[in-house]
Amino acid sequence: MKYDALIPVIRKLAIEAGAEIMAIYNSDDFEVKVKSDDSPVTAADEAADALISAGLRAAFPDVMLVTEEQAASHKLSGDTFLIVDPLDGTKEFINRRGDFTVNIALIEAGVPTRGVVYAPDRNRMFFTLADGTSVEETGAFDPDTMGEIRPIHVADSDNDALLVVASKSHRDQATDDYINKYAVKDSKSAGSSLKFCLVATGEADLYPRVGRTMEWDTAAGHAVLLGAGGKVVRFDDHTPLTYGKEGYANPFFIAHAPGVVLKQA
């Protein structure tokens, strides 16, 4: 995979998918269906998936593609693949809370090496450059012309005053019990893969996830965090979270700045 060819394509597709999503989000009403795993899906998920899938298959026909909306038909046949969550944070979307994202990532040998996270209602976009470093773009988000970008990096964490971010829709007692092991200065809630990006920009030090996620939920945010100097590890043994697992299900995990001294579960 040539990274200098990949990055403009995934950035453009994320912005175009974001426009499709926002057109539906700003409409008077939209249908919400329930998938076989009881998770919700909307016309926005489906429209964004169709747009991104077509774009990636046209640009990179020889690279395997895994998307949330088509996951049942995917069979991994190698350790390099593109993985997409066209609308992460569907519950945020349905409840019109704004914290939803478009996510596209490249996995190589179990590691998310490049990715883009676009939050169209928050006007925030984060992605890795060809060299693997992460940036945040500001501006009009023109799909054909990159705006102003700034490098992002994780915080130099103070373990006596940590900033923690946790799930808005899935926060529970187990999450709070784990957070309470740390000296926390401030704690906030956010939806979707934005939590990874808040750690990547230094707006948070720690994001623990004690709950179900799938690889497409985390891959792009994980890539952005890695490119900003952060880490994502398994909750149980603090080894790196890897991709290409059977069924695409993740274990519990912790995303963090490297200066955070992790506590045992």
What CATH number has the domain bearing residue 198?
3.40.190.80
Is residue 177 annotated as involved in ligand binding? Answer: no
- The three state secondary structure string of 25-43 is HCCCCCCEEECCCCCEEEH
Nearest by Cα to 179 from 260, 88, 238, 241: 260
pLDDT, residue 74, reads 58
- The verdict on 73 and 181 lying in the same domain is no
Strand 111-119, strand 64-67: pairing: unpaired
Q: How far apart are CA 134 and CA 149, in angstroms?
A: 10
Residue type for 218, please? Answer: T
Taking the chain, what is the end-to-end CA distance rounded to the nearest angstrom? 37
Residues 6+ apart with CB under 8 A from 38: none
Say yes or no to pLDDT of 97 above 80: yes
| Tokens representing residue 189 in the block | 């809630």
Domain that holds residue 13: 3-151
Nearest by Cα to 128 from 145, 149, 109, 108: 149
| Tokens representing residue 262 in the block | 């992790």
- The verdict on 8 and 47 lying in the same domain is yes
Residues 6+ apart with CB under 8 A from 104: 10, 13, 14, 52, 56, 82, 83, 84, 115, 116, 220
Which of residues 96, 123, 151 is at a domain's end? 151
Q: Which helix or strand (DSSP H or E) is residue 238 part of?
A: none
Contact between 87 and 72 under an 8 Å Cβ cutoff? The reply is: no
- The verdict on 102 and 7 lying in the same domain is yes
- The verdict on 94 and 62 lying in the same domain is yes
- To the nearest whole percent, how much of the chain has pLDDT over 70? 94
Nearest by Cα to 263 from 182, 162, 185, 190: 182
Is residue 87 annotated as involved in ligand binding? Answer: yes
Q: Is 157 part of a structural domain of the chain?
A: no
Which of helix, strand or coil describes residue 8?
A: helix
Question: Model's pTM, two decimal places?
Answer: 0.94
Is residue 144 annotated as involved in ligand binding? Answer: no
pLDDT band, residue 16 (cuts 50/70/90): very high
Q: How far apart are CA 184 and CA 163, in angstroms?
A: 6
Q: Is 265 part of a structural domain of the chain?
A: no
pLDDT (tens digit per residue) in 190-230: 988 999 999 999 999 999 999 999 999 999 999 999 999 99
Which of residues 151, 173, 202 is at a domain's end? 151
pLDDT, residue 95, reads 87
For the ranges 74-78, 138-142, 159-163, 211-215, the lowest mean pLDDT is seen at 74-78
pLDDT, residue 243, reads 96
pLDDT, residue 40, reads 66
Contact between 47 and 32 under an 8 Å Cβ cutoff? The reply is: no
- Higher confidence at residue 192 or residue 16? 16
Which of helix, strand or coil describes residue 202?
A: coil
Is residue 217 annotated as involved in ligand binding? Answer: yes
Domains in the chain, number: 2
- The verdict on 104 and 23 lying in the same domain is yes
